[in-house]
Amino acid sequence: GDLHEGNVLVTEDGALGLIDPDQLRPARFVSRRRRVRNLERLWRDFPSLPRWTALRAMVRYAGSAAAARPLCRAVAARAEAKRLQYGLPPR
C-alpha cells in the first residue's frame, strides 16, 4: 500500500491516525533509511503543517525527544536535498 497525506490524520496533540488503511501492510522490519525516506515524504506531503506539530508527532513516533533528534536531523537533511532536487520553495 501507499501511505500518503490522504491516509493520515494528525491530532492536536501530535498523535497520528490512519484513515482507510485497507491497502496498507505492516512491515516486519523497517530500516532506518526507509523510515527516513517515508517520514520525509510525509513531511513533504504536509506543507502547511506547523513545524511544532510535526516535531511533536516525530517525538511521539520515535518514543522520546532524545530518539527523535537524530531522526529529525536525517529527515530534515533528506527534505532539503529533495527540495533542491525538485526546485521546491523553502518551508
Phi, psi of 17 (to 5 degrees): -130, 155
Tell me how far CA of residue 70 lies from CA of 39, 55, 65, 81, in angstroms.
Answer: 13, 12, 10, 17
> Residue 59 — pLDDT band, cuts 50, 70, 90?
very high
Query: Which tens digits make up the pLDDT trace of 6-25?
Result: 788 878 887 778 887 777 77
> Residue 86 — pLDDT band, cuts 50, 70, 90?
very high
Distance CA 9, CA 87 (A): 27
